[in-house]
Structure 1
Amino acid sequence: MNAAYTAPIELPMTIYHAAELKEFMLDVLERGPCVHFDLSAVPEIDCAGVQLLVAARRRAAERQQACEFVGANDAVLATLALLGVAQTLTQAQPSVDTLSALQEPAL
């Protein structure tokens, strides 16, 4: 079994860094069948950042990869909860229903 590739995200996941983060996340998804994005150092996240998470999860599902978001701090979790996606994005294996509910990929 292949080990997970863990990629830390240390920039604010905001509209101001969306283009840079999009490139980074797409590159990381090329690195193997199981990818963990470590969100523990993300100082803030906005709707653009959440769109990146959703799009990464969708891209991975299309490629039949595992894509997990680990280590989310309280600030990130609070934003995800406010937007109603905390449980969806922090669960390890999203269901088909979850993926179909997350439309409009940003990547």
Structure 2
Amino acid sequence: MNTDIPQRIAIDGELSIYTAAEWKRRLDEVIDQGGNVELDLEAVQELDTAGLQLLIMAKKALVARGRQLQLSHHSAAVVDVFRLCDMADFFADPILPQQNPS
């Protein structure tokens, strides 16, 4: 497997307590395959703390293996939660626009 090209997964719908177990299973499978991972978040309609914890777990699992997690195409729901929880720095996420509070 070419580790330079990340495995891309598009998350669709909810990334919440109701879907976290299924997404954890899917992410664990991808992480176990090796290489970097890109999560396309464009179609995420809802993100709660369970979903956020899942993203944190994926990042930590990949970093522990010397690999990277890239987030792309953030939906408005994802941007809102990342801003509310101040998570952009944790994910080293350059896609989120920096805004000064007015």
Structure-1-length-normalised TM-score: 0.77
2: distance between equivalents of 1:90 and 1:14? 22
After TM superposition, which residue ranges in structure 1, 4 or more long, deviate above 3 angstroms? none
Residue of structure 2 equivalent to 1:63? 65
Q: Secondary structure at the match of 1:15?
A: coil
| C-alpha distance in structure 1 between counterparts of 2:29 and 2:13, whole Å | 16
1:57-77 superposed Cα distances (whole Å, 9 cap, x missing partner): 000011111111111111111
1:72 aligned partner: 74
Hey, which of these two has a bigger chunk of strand by percent? 2
> RMSD of aligned C-alpha atoms?
1.6
Residues 6-33 of structure 1 show CA distances to partners (whole Å, capped at 9, x for unaligned) of: 1111130110111001001111212332
Tell me, which stretches of 5 or more residues in structure 2 are unaligned?
95-102
Indicate the structure with greater helix content.
1
Cα deviation per residue 1:38-97 (whole Å; 9 max; x = unaligned)? 1111111000000000000000011111111111111111111101113422527xxxxx
What are the ranges of 5 or more consecutive residues in structure 1 without an aligned counterpart? 93-107
- Alignment partners' CA distance in 1, 2:32 and 2:66: 12
Is 2:75 aligned against 1:83? no
Structure of higher CA gyration radius? 2
- TM-score when normalising by structure 2: 0.81
